[in-house]
Structure 1
């Protein structure tokens, strides 16, 4: 067996596997977006972006994830846990595991400790309608998934 065949066999997959490469690219893109938000440029593809600070569910390590947000009144933010359509994103799992350790960073503002609330029923529907009106591509994205994307309200703690 050649080295190339061995590398693709699945044994000892780490940096050479497609999933590892994809995660590496995602980490690089997230780090770049985080730098942009911290420099005061918090938009991407026409959406406002904040940095969501969570703690890893298993590792306990700090995590920083750029996510699109939508206003919910004057002092709260809505985020959608789409995660590529198929499953909840890691940040959502971490947020729900350690809700008391969450905070956000917005361009031009200090870090704000927040409490996450997963919206359900009529509250979720009202929030979803506002989100879909602001960004129709999110509604289109949702329509292609078999699961309902969680909508999380982040309120200052």
Structure 2
């Protein structure tokens, strides 16, 4: 997965936020967080859902039984740097991550799944409740 992610990150940065393959045409964000154990910067490409000034990300890991590493890192250290693909290029900013829970998580998951049905399939594939992370600009 690291080689795949490295290629997506490089393509994103070389093409002003535009990539092909499975992320072609998707809202894509690069999240740089601090490793929970290593303390090193880690960058992960993921899809995002914008809502005003808030950026939402689903920690699906394609329906795997465990949460993605980036989610674990943000739980340990919620400060992150985001590189957000927009129609006008790439927007960079610092943000604080919070986990959305309960009825609000359920409402957002259903809403996001309507526009991107793959996320509904991911939830059906796993026993865990797939988290949603909200990023608030600093």
Question: TM-score range, shorter-chain basis?
Answer: 0.7 to 0.9
1:143/1:90 CA distance change after superposition, 3 Å: same
**1:28 alignment partner in structure 2:** 3
- Give the CA deviation at 1:42: 4.8
The question of 1:78 aligning with 2:27 is answered no
Bigger radius of gyration, 1 or 2? 1
1:128 and 1:76 map into 2 onto residues whose CA distance is 15
Give SS of 1:88's match. coil
The question of 1:154 aligning with 2:135 is answered yes
2:91 and 2:25 map into 1 onto residues whose CA distance is 23
**115, 120, 123: which one aligns with 2:104:** 123
**31, 39, 50: which one aligns with 1:52:** 31
Could you tell me which runs of 5 or more consecutive residues in structure 1 were left unpaired when the two chains were aligned: 1-25
Give SS of 2:71's match. helix
Could you tell me which runs of 5 or more consecutive residues in structure 2 were left unpaired when the two chains were aligned: none
The question of 1:93 aligning with 2:72 is answered yes
Let me know the Cα RMSD of the aligned residues: 1.5
Relative contact order, higher structure (CA 8 A, sep 6+): 2
Please give the TM-score of this superposition, normalised by the length of structure 1. Answer: 0.77
**12, 25, 32: which one aligns with 1:37:** 12
The aligned length equals 130
Q: Quick check: 125-134 or 144-153, which moved more? A: 125-134
Please give the TM-score of this superposition, normalised by the length of structure 2. Answer: 0.86
- Give the CA deviation at 1:110: 3.9
- Give the CA deviation at 1:103: 1.3
- Give the CA deviation at 1:144: 1.3
